[in-house]
Structure 1
């Protein structure tokens, strides 16, 4: 415990075990109570309590009350659709939770005077934390001691250069140690830490916008009102026509009409298509955290990229040496290899060591790198001493020469002006430049000797991801604009952008932009591609400005400084090795950090959109058919032509099963806006044609087949669920209508399946075979209440063919529909 008058933060032996226990009991620990995704209960409620489930659930209960369980098969869709959404989101939540590690798993703390390694989440307020190279800073605080401590703060600021920190400096969580060591007391932990305060707003769960789901919701909203009107109409009309057979028949016939108005399979197929795409992308190391994100990326027309971690791997690599004053290249490379052969190498020497072998020189003395002096040096047995550091520092330490000596750049002469010009030229190309110089004696730790002479310029560059150029070329070919938005130096950002094949133009320093002028920002974004020195708040403003200009925006990034922009973008894409806050708000996480996966996601999204639109026409056509049939049956006072089981058969073989396969097939069509308009443009008239054809076939069948009206009640009023078999003649009008409906809908399926491929032809043929089997197999015919003498089959087929011809006319009179649907696979 602390002695009287002694501050906890003034001690250097750390907390005692009792003090740690006290802080844990008070909740002053480095743990977050916020969750990065919805709870299991919220996931279940969101997928169960939907308008779609309410409509079908009510109808399912009504049919079950009648005891006709075979007519309630549509209720299975309720369970399947909800289950798919729940399972997918729960699995994504679990996977995210396993990935969501904000800091390094362990941290060194001093407790009871001893250095211990504890789980980062177990760090408590006022803990004395020891930092070493490679550590991440787990909490905010003030440095008590620093031995050349340098932090990589790119995660917070986007700036790639390390920042030196001395005793008394404030340091923030979310940064990492790249050089030196230090100790500090944790002042803000957990939710109070800077990195988590930035992410607090971004952590709130938001739904990804989906044009498909929004369109389906609009359909359901309209259909809700249609049902509200159609339900009393169909109950009244069926009571007039079949009321003498009992209330159960009224409910079943009414439910058949209303169930046909609900595109239940469309919602299910959309969920299945999204789910299977998410599973497929997970195999390619892409975590889809929300189902609609696959579709969303296909709609994107602007991608905002962060340089570090996206275009580059975040590491610097050795590039080249530029000998000065006649120095030998081999000697230079040997000296660099010897300097880099250092167990305490900083980032620059580590990059050189990865490229140049050590010549095996015996090191006799070392001056380690220090950010204040910006150079390091070493001496070697039998060789000169060598100094490596910032050109401006080494050049400024010596008097400048002029005249012929400088012009010739001879050995022993600085030629400072020429060197500075060369440094500036290399820096303009985005290179990081250091100067290698030689000396006969080892410099003192704080000063350079007078005999130091320049030997070579050494250039390093950020490691550009090998797949970046091909990925950006793909976006360009697909008409997707790219904006590079980075917190780094604009010149450096522009150089990297050029290297990956972007047309850069003039890079923009975001510090020159007016934050309070949205229109000016929109104009700059229209005309420029590369932006440097961009703050986290500006990244967010960039996203808003692009959206205000009508763009669908994707934002990629890996640092906390990207989190808010990712959240507000239409689609946020995070790198798997990025900050937890960034991964938490992103719709897509590239688990292996490979930017090259984005074309796969884009292609998958386009496939989903194209195929869902293709099959949506089938479902909406069925809805239109049912509405026309309901109204026509009410006007002419006839029973609704179908039982629910008839529509279950038609829906299965002409819509449900083929739609499942069509939704999974290839589709390379580019995204076209107007999803709902195109569906209504074709499906409504096609469905209306089917509805009219069905009523015509039912009336024709009833005039020649079935039973007389005055005998209908006595011969056809079998109670639902009874083991007794009704007179098969009672089934014949409905059978004729079913044949006609199958014919028209098989043609709608054939239209939407174009262009035909062998697998599509086989699919349609198989469905025709299943439909025929329902009539020809006695058990199936009895289950579905089907009976059709050959003449009835002929006349019903004729009506169906006439309807199919009209469907073809509808399709051919709309070139935009043909262009949208007739896409090579």
Structure 2
């Protein structure tokens, strides 16, 4: 029962702010799927969404006082005042008093508060003041550090906001003009605005890669597929329509003309009207239930939890032993009880929350200077623990500046018609424009740009990752309907029946197909990406809607080839990551030849490349071996990437994933640490834990080092505190068994513990040995326990030497002279506890081979001076201490020096046997 109570209290202490993200690793909705969604959200919201699904579009627009061309800007401002920002309330920061309470309410502070109350009830004013000071210092420092960290994080995160393309009338230059709009659809009232400014009644445009920013009724759709996995757990995307198609009206999630906040567009385009925003959305109602429950503990929190439970178990075992020993020997059970409570405090790392927060905040500030936005502080430690980095190729290993190098027919002859077709396709598409489209649009001559004016768009068939192509349908100058399709060579050959060579159209034979594939592969081997262009003309049919079924019997016109050269820094970055124990694996949707060429140039082993189709044929055992053995995976779809990341995690790796596309979102969520860039699609940014303002592997290498430095300092504090506190308590047990009075009063232990904790404030700023940064680091509670038991009792040897010194040399061996005895041990105990920090903060020789940072040295010096001043100064009587003979300070350096020498010798033995994390 006691253990369960402690676990509940401690789990609450370990939580960070309840940050609800649309696609959060920790805020899973799986628990909610056991009951019907209709029971989880308000009846009114369900009715609202069902009515929106059933009502005709014109009626819905009328009911919402909206307009097909969008809201008037003034009307939108009034609605925003009425409905508030389009944000989940759980994302809002705590009030200062709530934050202060949050910083206070951990088991350590509760224990100290209980002890302070007991001291106050027994008229122990000094004990009450000291214990209260420990609570105040721990709480205020944590409050200050977290407030500063959160303010910096909010400032950084405000730089990465998600936008929505919305129709607004009568607006000025307040918002940015939407870019991905073609000429025939372009209007003066389409703007990109932050999603938080959306209001009910807004008309928005959706395309592949967008997060759906609110609950919406779809007005127009074009091959729209939406991922609802965050809401329903479904792995496959669902198709959405402008009118409700299903007969199921009871399940709100089955309304296939309603798009829900928090879901994402996989492919296609749509126009929609916003129905509900913020907490009034379906997702907002579900998210509130999630945040009302406990969050899933992260791996970082599990590590802290396991270590803290180790210390709590020692406390629960040793405090009763000390209580009975002192009660039996001294005869005063009330004093023994207070002393046992002081021992419990001595074993309690009450500064742990502050140290963890300070160290993580320092890491976040460092990374911000390297243009890395940390969305979740715990991710910094995961950064340091990462031993496998999976990354896409384009823009990460390459320069992210794609250039259209050639436009040829299938035989390699320069062809202007191919360029015109490519330009028409890229210009008229309204879906997800990528770097290839931008390269085509930038490369085209002014003549080409004029020629496209002769073509009027009729329809579009958006891109998706299964068929790997997209089409637009235009009306030609000859009044024909021309479907223009671009895509991967193999996929284009599957839908072409003819090919254009030297301006002649000939049948596409199997032999010619092989020649075309060979020619495209030759381009690939030169490091060029190849896109094939095809077309087909037909008669214009009024009101015809084109679909994937119309992509057949095309004429293959030629190739567009693109150059994406490797970055100069890629070789150095990969070498640096390998040096620090991080294996880099390339996961790309590009073909194997281009990937191989790029990987050869940057020094990655490229003799064997695993393709997506190979993965589909592998057994579970073969796949498990392949992800370990090989470093390059090409022609992958999103599910392949997610499977690889999942398997690596199951193989006991800490996996990072760097991606920026919609096809990377699943892998980003699955990875231990998701990394994206500020130019990524919305869903990628929401899925990531870190966002790079500069897409560079060198930044990642620096982040890995900082993550390991952060973890090393957190671990340093825990190991040092645990071992020194354990040593003190072990010494107390020895003294309690043989000395007829308390070896140290509770107030002495409390003051000693307070001074030691203050000295540890500088630990987050300490130096870390280079050797500790070379390999990934993980939590090992057993290793920390072994470290504590090994090094803790060493101090007890010299504590016993101090007991003998005070007992025999200074004759402090009766209750009348116990204050002298206690003063002698107070100084020696504090100095050994403080100085040992420098001995076991490194496996090297302290002060010579490895010196602590200046802040830690300064804090050590200050605490040592205070520790000597208290018994020797005017405050001695107030703390029940007394001045020591000057001869004591002749023996003291000998004891301290012997302690340091023995610790250094045994440290070498420990490193040889167990290593040094």
Q: TM-score, normalised by structure 1?
A: 0.71
Alignment partners' CA distance in 1, 2:862 and 2:275: 74
CA distance in structure 2 between the aligned counterparts of 1:420 and 1:233, rounded to whole angstroms: 85
Whether 1:671 and 2:776 are equivalent positions in the alignment is yes
Q: Distance in 2 between matches of 1:760 and 1:489?
A: 51
Match of 2:107 in 1: 51
For 1:450, the equivalent position in structure 2 comes to: none
* Counterpart position of 1:74: 134
1:513 pairs, out of 595, 613, 616, with 616
Cα pair distance change 1:42/1:804, threshold 3 Å? same
Which residue matches 1:767? 860
Kindly tell me: are residues 167 and 751 of structure 1, through their superposed partners in 2, closer, same or farther at Cα, counting changes over 3 Å?
A: closer
Q: Alignment partner for residue 15 of structure 1, among 45, 61, 71?
A: 61
Q: Secondary structure at the match of 2:61?
A: coil
Distance 1:59 1:279, change over 3 A: farther
Q: Please report the TM-score for the alignment, with normalisation by the length of structure 2.
A: 0.65
For residues 886 and 402 of structure 2, the distance between their equivalents in structure 1, rounded to whole angstroms, comes to: 80
CA deviation vs aligned residue, 1:649-708 (integer Å, no higher than 9, x gap) = 655776752672475324432235574444444443433232242243234324454777
What secondary structure sits across from 1:264 in the alignment? Answer: coil
2:584 is the alignment partner of 1:482: yes
Equivalent position to 1:422, from 519, 534, 550: 519
Cα distance in 1 for partners of 2:609, 2:412 equals 36
Between the aligned partners of 1:569 and 1:388, the Cα distance in structure 2 is 35
Task: Mark the runs of 5 or more structure 2 residues left unpaired by the alignment.
Answer: 1-51, 68-78, 171-186, 231-238, 246-255, 462-470, 478-483, 542-554
1:575 & 1:364 partners in 2: Cα distance?
34
Shift of 1:770: 5.3
- Asked whether the equivalents of residues 367 and 376 of structure 1 are also in contact (C-alpha less than 8 Å), the reply is yes
Q: Following TM superposition, by how much is the alpha carbon of 1:604 offset from its aligned partner in structure 2, in angstroms?
A: 0.8
**8 Å Cα contact 1:309/1:557 also seen in 2:** no
Q: What pairs with 1:535-554 in structure 2 (closer than 5 Å)?
A: 539-554=641-656
Tell me which residue corresponds to 1:614.
716
Paired residues of 1:317 and 1:461 also in contact (CA < 8 A): yes
The residue matched to 1:634 in structure 2 has which SS?
helix
Query: Is 1:794 aligned to 2:899, yes or no?
Result: no
Q: How does 1:523-602 map to 2 (within 5 A)?
A: 523-531=625-633, 539-558=641-660, 562-563=664-665, 565-578=667-680, 583-584=685-686, 586-590=688-692, 596-602=698-704
**CA offsets per residue over residues 189-214 of structure 1, 9 Å max, x none?**
98999999999999995332127513
> Residues of 1 paired with 2:208 and 2:614: CA distance?
32
1:62 matched to 2:122? The reply is: no
How far is 1:567 from its partner? 4.2
Q: Which residue of 2 aligns with 1:272?
A: 358
Partner Cα separation in structure 2 for residue 527 and residue 83 of structure 1? 47
- Identify the residue that residue 293 of structure 1 maps to in structure 2: 379
2:405–2:561 CA contact under 8 A, matched in 1 = yes
Task: Report the counterpart of residue 298 of structure 2 in structure 1.
Answer: 208
Task: Give the match's secondary structure for 1:555.
Answer: strand
Aligned equivalents of 2:660, 2:892: Cα separation in 1: 63
2:183 matched residue in structure 1: none
Q: Distance in 1 between matches of 2:521 and 2:740?
A: 89
Q: CA deviation at 1:601?
A: 1.9
Kindly indicate whether the alpha-carbon contact (under 8 Å) linking 2:100 and 2:139 is maintained by their aligned counterparts in 1.
no
Evaluate the alpha carbon distance shift between residue 367 and residue 473 of structure 1 in structure 2; reply closer, same or farther with a 3 A threshold.
farther
Map residues 351-390 of structure 1 onto 2, 5 A cutoff.
Answer: 351-355=439-443, 358=446, 366-367=454-455
Compute the displacement of 1:224 (Å).
Answer: 3.3
Q: In 2, distance between residues paired with 1:773 and 1:691?
A: 23
Take 2:84 and 2:892, find their aligned partners in 1: how far apart are those partners? 76
Query: Per the alignment, do residues 487 and 124 of structure 1 end up closer, same or farther by CA in structure 2, a change over 3 Å counting?
Result: farther
Q: Which has the larger radius of gyration?
A: 1
Q: CA deviation at 1:222?
A: 1.5
3-state SS, counterpart of residue 916 of structure 2? helix
CA contact (8 A) 2:759 2:834 kept: no
Please name the residue that 1:104 is paired with.
164
The verdict on how the C-alpha distance between 1:805 and 1:187 changes in structure 2, with shifts beyond 3 A counting, is closer
The whole-number CA distance in structure 2 between the counterparts of 1:290 and 1:140 is 27
CA distance in 1, matches of 2:336, 2:211: 71
Question: Is contact 2:355-2:764 (8 Å) kept?
Answer: no
- Alpha-carbon distance between aligned partners in 2 of 1:198 and 1:495, rounded to the nearest angstrom: 48
What is the distance in 2 between the residues matched to 1:126 and 1:237? 78
Residues 734 and 364 (structure 1 numbering): CA distance in 2 closer, same or farther, change over 3 Å? closer
Task: Report deviation, 1:67.
Answer: 0.6
Query: Residue 217 of structure 1: CA displacement?
Result: 1.6
Superimposed CA distance per residue, residues 82-139 of structure 1 (whole angstroms, 9 cap, x where no aligned partner): 52675378548856985785551634699xxx99769767878998766799998767
Shift in Å at residue 603 of structure 1?
0.5
Distance 2:449 2:341 in 1: 90
CA 1:803–1:340: 2 relative to 1, 3 Å? closer
Measure the CA separation in 2 of the matches of 1:312 and 1:613: 37
Structure 1, unaligned runs of 5 or more = 1-5, 158-163, 380-386, 401-408, 438-442, 448-452, 713-728
Quote the Cα distance in structure 1 between the aligned partners of 2:821 and 2:626.
69
* CA distances 1:159-217 after superposition (whole Å, capped 9, x unpaired): xxxxx9999998978778999x9756779998999999999999995332127513432
- 1:379-421 deviation digits (Å, cap 9, x = unpaired): 9xxxxxxx99778689968678xxxxxxxx9897989845564
SS of residue in 2 equivalent to 1:813: helix
2: CA distance between counterparts of 1:464 and 1:258? 59
Q: Which residue of 1 is the match for residue 823 of structure 2?
A: 735
* Contact map agreement 1:606 1:667 (CA 8 A) in 2: no
Show CA shifts across 1:70-89 (max 9, x none).
54343334414652675378
- Report how far residue 272 of structure 1 moved: 2.0
Deviation at 1:141, TM superposition (A): 8.4
In the alignment, the residues of structure 2 paired with residue 677 and residue 630 of structure 1 have an alpha-carbon distance, to the nearest angstrom, of 24
Equivalent of residue 431 in structure 1, options 514, 526, 529: 529
State the partner residue of 1:722. Answer: none
Q: Distance in 2 between matches of 1:360 and 1:20?
A: 40
SS of alignment partner, residue 883 of structure 2? coil
Offset from partner CA, 1:255-293 (integer Å, 9 cap, x none): 544432223345532332122112222333333344332
Contact 1:288 1:587 in 2 (8 A): yes
**Change beyond 3 A, Cα 1:664–1:215:** farther
RMSD over aligned CA atoms reads: 5.9
Could you report, residue by residue, the CA deviation over 1:534-567 in whole angstroms, capped at 9, with x for unpaired residues?
6666655444432322222223444566555444
1:182 to 1:477, Cα distance in 2 relative to 1, 3 A? same
Secondary structure in structure 2 of the residue aligned to 1:431: strand
- Rate the CA distance shift 1:421–1:700 in 2: closer, same or farther, 3 A: closer
User: Is 1:641 matched up with 2:743?
Assistant: yes
Q: Does the CA-based 8 Å contact 1:326-1:411 persist in structure 2?
A: no
Instruction: Give the corresponding residue for 1:721.
Output: none
Size of the aligned set, in residue pairs, is 753
Cα 1:491–1:81 change in 2 (3 A) is: farther
Q: Rate the CA distance shift 1:266–1:140 in 2: closer, same or farther, 3 A.
A: closer
Identify if the C-alpha distance between structure 1 residues 131 and 634 changes in structure 2 by more than 3 Å, giving closer, same or farther.
closer
1:635 CA drift (Å):
0.8
Distance in 2 between residues matched to 1:465 and 1:198, nearest whole Å? 44
**Further displaced range: 654-663 or 795-804:** 654-663
